[in-house]
Chains A and B, each alone.
Chain A
Amino acid sequence: NAGVMQNPRHLVRRRGQEARLRCSPMKGHSHVYWYRQLPEEGLKFMVYLQKENIIDESGMPKERFSAEFPKEGPSILRIQQVVRGDSAAYFCASSPEATKTEAFFGQGTRLTVV
């Protein structure tokens, strides 16, 4: 059973470009979470999705950031018009159920904005 798969592992974007980060949850997991890790900080919750639904996006910036988890395919975290402050590691996690089990994390995507 493959773990949570994220790609790309590293992504470099110029200021103003768009960044698209992909996450395929573990098999059988329908709950997906995105976290952001800024330098010298712990991970911060961004958004929680189930198939085709955003359940909680309270941790996501109101502008330029969006997330989706379509019926088919991976979850996508999209950042439009990136700025230097978006440089961080973005981690995706999945779980088979929301509150009774632990979440399993992917390897992360390290976004660098130049």
Chain B
Amino acid sequence: AQSVAQPEDQVNVAEGNPLTVKCTYSVSGNPYLFWYVQYPNRGLQFLLKYITGDNLVKGSYGFEAEFNKSQTSFHLKKPSALVSDSALYFCAVRRSNDYKLSFGAGTTVTVRA
């Protein structure tokens, strides 16, 4: 079985401040980890992924995520948030040899001007 937990339903930050969206996972074997973002009335957009290699992964729009195997976490970060980053963020996991993604419930990010 595999699962993802996003412990925060909402994250509120001021523009220009650092943004962190938390994600922990449970999966047997090697995990493939993903972050997707959903803007209002739009589909999910792929942000970044961890497959193997460097634990710090850089993605689109200045986002990055750090894979921590001992803590089974894959937190999404952005050093300086923008108002346009306000959206719903989903963390997802699957096994390396599988196709089926398991998603967290999502975290709504609000960046205030």
Chain A residues near B (Cβ < 8 Å) = 3-4, 6, 31, 33, 35, 40-45, 48, 56, 59, 91, 93, 95, 98-99, 102-108
Contact = CB atoms under 8 A, between A and B. Distances in A.
Q: Which 3 A-B pairs have the closest CB atoms?
A: A42-B103, A107-B43, A105-B44
Contacts of B46: 102, 104-105
Contacts of A59: 100
Contacts of B104: 42
Candidate in A43, A98, A107 with the most chain B CB atoms within 10 angstroms: A43
Interface residues of B, number: 23
Interface of B: 4, 34, 36, 41-46, 49, 90, 92, 96-106
A35 to B, nearest CB: 8
B104 to A, nearest CB: 5
Nearest to A40: B105
Given A31-B99, A103-B101, A107-B42, 13 more contacts: A4-B43, A6-B43, A35-B101, A40-B105, A42-B4, A48-B100, A93-B44, A98-B99, A99-B97, A105-B36, A105-B46, A107-B41, A108-B43
